Amino acid sequence: MTQPDDPRRVGVIVELIDHTIAIAELNERGDLVRRLRRARARITDPQIRVVIAGQLKQGKSQLLNALLNLPVARVGDDEATVLITVVSYSAQPSARIILAAGPNGETTAVDIPVDDITTDLRRAPQARGRAVLRVEIGAPSPLLQGGLTFIDTPGVGGHGQPHLSATLGLLPDADALLMVSDASQEFTEPEMWFLCKAHQVCPVGAVVATKTDLYPHWREIVNTNAAHLQRARVPMPIVPVSSLLRSHAVTSNDKELNEESNFPAIVKFLSEKVLSRETDRVRDEVLREIHSAAEQLAISVGSELSVINDPAMRDRLASDLRGASAKPRMRCSRPRCGSRCSMTVSPT
């Protein structure tokens, strides 16, 4: 995940993790070893992940396409994003699907034609019957060159909220959240619930109010939603935008229209709050993980030391050992494999 600006600081943190892992291994704490190795992977990952979430038909995919000036996300009248789609920088356009673990227990990456990303890839022929976990797209967008990676998620909504848990599950490893809600109406109850839960896990984020070109009363909606967030103590800014105006601005190279679309405000948020690592949440969480592991190991070692330093405990252990040594033990009458053994009492 996000690396701190100073690579030397990353090196110090990695050394601290490795040292703590070594102590955990000596103490046979496999649970701590696994947690620390995951923390190590997070702190050394150069990608800066931004999750794009929202309910169905709110304009998430149009937002991503307009932001990157590239058609990287599937758009349609139906549920456009049906699989988690990860978009990161690549000098040349590329696409692949990640398949569920096979008989060997490992996932598989399969390259697909870039043009296929506009289709429903859940039953892609390249998968050969295996479940498709996600789509990974490489895009030559300048916005992505600094390590920024967007994760477009399936719309939350419908019967049973099928994608809700999957979307929330992405947030612990995310650097920021863009919550998309169109300007047609104020937040629904499920949206407010999601925002409150998401903010607890990923406090760096913004609400993007889309489709302002369709709804003349969008300012009223934005103000109402800002009040909802304030009452819920969710300090997230709301950025009203129009993906349609942005697309027209890019096509016609119209700077004034681009300003009217308000997409520069999203870029500013990403630049100042995410890419600048103003709040390096991942670094702080990794340090807390190290501290927690060190505390647990200190408690374990401290317990052993207390036994050694407690005269009464030492005497009791010595008595237990003497008692154990006086018990009957099995001794072979002949020192050969397969011979019968007789019961004798060893002298103390």
Would you say 136 and 117 are in contact if contact means Cβ atoms under 8 Å apart?
no
The arrangement of strands across the sheet holding 148-152 comes to: 108-111, 94-99, 132-139, 84-89, 148-152, 48-54, 176-182, 205-210, 238-240
CATH superfamily of 48-91+140-278: P-loop containing nucleotide triphosphate hydrolases (3.40.50.300)
Average pLDDT over every residue of 236-259: 96
Ranked by mean pLDDT, the top range of 78-92, 225-239, 330-344 is: 225-239
Task: Map out the domains of the chain as residue ranges.
Answer: 48-91+140-278
Place of tokens 């709040």: 279
List CB contacts of 118: < 8 A, sequence separation 6 or more: 71, 74
Q: Which of 201-210, 215-224, 243-252, 280-289 has the lowest mean pLDDT?
A: 280-289
Q: For the chain, what is the mean pLDDT? A: 84
For the chain, what is the radius of gyration of the CA atoms?
Answer: 29
Q: Which of 160-169, 212-221, 232-241 has the lowest mean pLDDT?
A: 160-169
Give the CB-side neighbour count of residue 335, counting CA atoms within 13 A.
Answer: 0
Average pLDDT over every residue of 313-322: 65
Higher pLDDT, 346 or 46: 46
pLDDT of residue 317: 62
pLDDT of residue 74: 76
pLDDT of 196 over the 80 cut? yes
Average pLDDT over every residue of 47-62: 92
* DSSP β-ladder status, 48-54 and 176-182: parallel
E strand or H helix at 221:
helix 218-231
Average pLDDT over every residue of 224-246: 97
What letter would DSSP give residue 176? E
179 DSSP β-pair partners: 53, 207
